[in-house]
Amino acid sequence: MNERLGRLLMAWALLMVLLAIEFGASFLPSDRSARPLVLIPAVLMVGVVGSIFMEVGRGPEIIRLFAVAGLLWLCILLGLGSLDPMTRIVYHVQTANPK
């Protein structure tokens, strides 16, 4: 078997193990403070895909720069998207009963 193919198969197996861990951890009862721990396997999956499948570490510096910029932009978008529901105020309005 080719060395590259073996490396890709090991990466795929690692992704499947991380997926099983994340899927299993999502059903465990946990406090609200422990819920971000479920994101750890997802971050590891992003690292495996970026380093092994996309070979970001072996590319030129501009590739690494764009990869880091993409992750930074994703963090900005997720941060802004989570601020919207946290800062939204719900005004309760009394409605008239139609007769």
pTM above threshold 0.95: no
Tens of pLDDT along 30-74? 888 887 888 899 999 999 999 998 888 888 999 999 999 999 999
Domain carrying residue 65: 60-87
Q: What is the pLDDT of residue 80?
A: 92
Cα(60)–Cα(54) distance, integer angstroms: 12
Same domain, 28 and 76: no
Q: How many helices (H) and strands (E) does the chain have?
A: 3, 0
- 67 and 27 share one domain: no
Q: Identify whether residues 8 and 44 lie together within a single domain.
A: yes
* pLDDT the model gives residue 99: 66
* Separation between Cα atoms, residue 45 and residue 58, nearest integer Å: 18
Whether 26 and 48 map to the same domain: the answer is yes
